[in-house]
Amino acid sequence: MARGRGTSRAGTATLRAPSGPASVCRALDLERITTHKGVELELGYAWDVDDGIAEGWTVHRLGVQARGREAGYLKISYVPADRAARLFPDPFHYALERSGSFYALKRLLERAPEAEWDEPELRAAVESGRGWVPWDEQQRLKGLGACGLRDEWAAVRSRIQEDFAEQHRSFLEFHVDKPLVDYIRVFDGYDCDGEDDFRRQGIALSLYAVGARWMAANGMCLWASGLQSEEAAEAWERLGQTLPIGVAPSTNMAGESRTRRFLDGALLDPIEAQAP
């Protein structure tokens, strides 16, 4: 059975066959996708769009048009493995990028590598890395020279590495090469000046299915978001009536066990990779 790269990172995943009756399972042919009313849909693929998202992420957009009007779109986001290796190679660098508490420390490292820090820079790094310091400890630090401050910095760095180890691990597991549904929208009559209402015509189903096949063509699965609204969770339940939904074990930032759903587009009809 074919697997996308995202599935191989998911641990022991369970794939569920569509649960709905055969009459519900309609063909999804990229050569001619239509609404329930027979209106042909035109797909548009946008790879790595500029969406103002945080550094490290990439966003892809799958748009769909009907009768020359935009009918809806699907936004997909994740952290590519090469960006994760560059920005989040270990818990320490993850903390610098993801925690606002270490902004000053990040600026120090951008100006010069740790090995080249002089005494004032070492002192600033220790103070920034430790946060609030009691008065008596401040006095002790003031009496240290470069060698003593370097030892203090090594201890501070080690503590940051240890404190963020679990968050770093969970972050990589959840985001790296695991494209998730960031946002999906199907336009109603209000969006289209009252002329068209594209809801309840199977467009969302087509966006999910084509999005999953798009990611599969690039070696990945399409995953459910970790912050789903009740409506989004219900949508994934309905998807399971028509498409093969997988369930994989996962953990949150606190290390608590949970499950996460995904669509393995490799099990659907393959398409050519829509990427540069």
140 plus 242 within the same structural domain? no
Q: Which domain holds residue 155?
A: 100-163
112 plus 245 within the same structural domain? no
Would you list the DSSP string of 10-62? SSS-EEEPP-S-GGG-----TTSEE-TT--EEEEEEE-S----PPTT-EEEEE
% of the chain at pLDDT higher than 70: 76
Secondary structure letter of residue 262 according to DSSP: E
Count up the domains in the chain and report the number.
2
117 plus 33 within the same structural domain? no
Query: Is the pLDDT reported for residue 26 higher than 70?
Result: no
Predicted confidence at residue 16, as pLDDT, reads 46
64 plus 135 within the same structural domain? no
The lowest-confidence range among 47-51, 186-190, 230-234 is: 186-190
175-225 tens-digit pLDDT: 999 999 988 888 875 544 545 666 776 788 888 988 998 999 889 999 998
Domain boundary among 163, 193, 217: 163
Residue 249: phi, psi to the nearest 5? -70, 150
Any domain includes 275? no
11 plus 29 within the same structural domain? yes
Any domain includes 91? no
Predicted confidence at residue 253, as pLDDT, reads 64
176 plus 67 within the same structural domain? yes
148 plus 188 within the same structural domain? no
Predicted confidence at residue 57, as pLDDT, reads 93
61 plus 195 within the same structural domain? yes
262-274 tens-digit pLDDT: 998 887 765 444 4
Banded pLDDT at 255 (limits 50, 70, 90): low
221-234 as b/e: b if 16+ CB within 10 A: bbbbbeeeeeeeee
Question: Span 63-75, mean pLDDT?
Answer: 86
Domain boundary among 139, 163, 187: 163
Predicted confidence at residue 202, as pLDDT, reads 72
Predicted confidence at residue 164, as pLDDT, reads 95
The residues facing 243 across adjacent strands are: none
177 plus 253 within the same structural domain? yes
Q: Report the DSSP pairing between strands 180-186 and 40-46.
A: unpaired
% of the chain at pLDDT higher than 90: 39
239 plus 204 within the same structural domain? yes
Q: Which residue has the higher pLDDT, 155 or 3?
A: 155
Any domain includes 59? yes
Q: Which residue has the higher pLDDT, 106 or 228?
A: 106
126 plus 14 within the same structural domain? no
Any domain includes 233? yes
The CATH number of the domain holding residue 261 is: 3.40.630
Half-sphere exposure of 228 (CA within 13 A, CB side): 17
pTM of the model: 0.78
Predicted confidence at residue 32, as pLDDT, reads 60
Domain boundary among 163, 181, 197: 163
Taking the chain, what is the end-to-end CA distance rounded to the nearest angstrom?
A: 27
148 plus 257 within the same structural domain? no
Question: Span 39-48, mean pLDDT?
Answer: 85
Predicted confidence at residue 27, as pLDDT, reads 36
Report the mean per-residue pLDDT for the chain.
Answer: 80
* Angle between helix 146-163 and 119-130 (nearest 10): 30
